[in-house]
Amino acid sequence: MNRILIILLIIFSCLAANSQSSIEAKFMFFSMHPFKTLRQPDTDIYENRIDDNANFIKSPGILLSYQKYLYLTRLSFQISQGFFSDAIANVGSVTSLLLKYKFYHKYKISVSLGLGPSLSIRQDWHNNYRYIENDGYTINGNYQTRWYLGGELSFYYYISKRSDLSLSFLVGHEYGSIAINLGYKFWINTSVKFKSGCRDCKNKFNRGPNMKHWWVRIWY
């Protein structure tokens, strides 16, 4: 699986040479467990739970992402690495490679959806005698790992030519969970690789060649 991720990353990087790119820091605060079922009878061990039923859990952490566009301003891939405090207050991590599509852009607000292979790693929960193994993790030494299809819904708000604020919902960093994150996005490269058919380039709050010309008109 690691080889597949590396190959996909190399292919995407070649396709996206000289296109738009950005980096983003997302801060994790808490997560929801809307998919919690009777398969998880051990939620009483969740030290970071906010309510008695563990529907909401504190999960402070940080997620760092790099995003590269493949086609116009719509299709991109994003590689992310995050570290957080998991449900039982141990250190956990999540790594993902998502294919993202921006399906909405109006004024200063845009919305993107991403899907792709993800890897969740945490310290072995078997050290807690009340832990019941029912969440899809496998043991690797002192850690547990789980491959899954990850997802992310992201809302962005334009604040300057190279800056966005973000609100995102990350699915699956822990079993059956949705993390709520606030972030800051910095655009490394704002150039659109293919201009033909770029409807978003007409939006003055979109990055691209038209944005550069818009600033020039204001300056002069």
Which H, E and C letters describe the chain, residue by residue?
CHHHHHHHHHHHHHHCCCCCEEEEEEEEEEEECCCCCCCCCCHHHCCCECCCCCCEEEEEEEEEEEEEEEECCCEEEEEEEEEEECCCCCEEEEEEEEEEEEEEEECCEEEEEEEEEEEEEEECHHHCCCCCCCCCCEEECCEEEEEEEEEEEEEEEEEECCEEEEEEEEECCCCCCEEEEEEEEEEEECCCCCCCCCHHHHCCCCCCHHHHHHHHHHHC
Q: Domain residue spans in the chain?
A: 2-191
Query: Which of these CATH numbers, 2.40.160.20, 1.10.275.10, 3.40.50.970, 3.40.50.1370, describes 2-191?
Result: 2.40.160.20
Tens digit of each residue's pLDDT, the chain (220 residues): 555 555 555 555 554 456 789 999 999 999 998 876 544 657 788 899 998 888 899 999 999 999 999 988 899 999 999 999 999 999 999 999 999 999 999 989 999 999 999 999 999 998 888 888 877 899 999 999 999 999 999 999 999 999 999 999 999 999 889 999 999 999 999 877 555 556 666 565 666 544 443 333 333 3
Angle at 84 between CA 82 and CA 89, to 5 degrees: 160
> 114, 90, 116: which is closest to 101 by C-alpha?
114
- Please tell me whether residue 44 adopts helix, strand or coil conformation: helix
Place of tokens 């801060």: 27
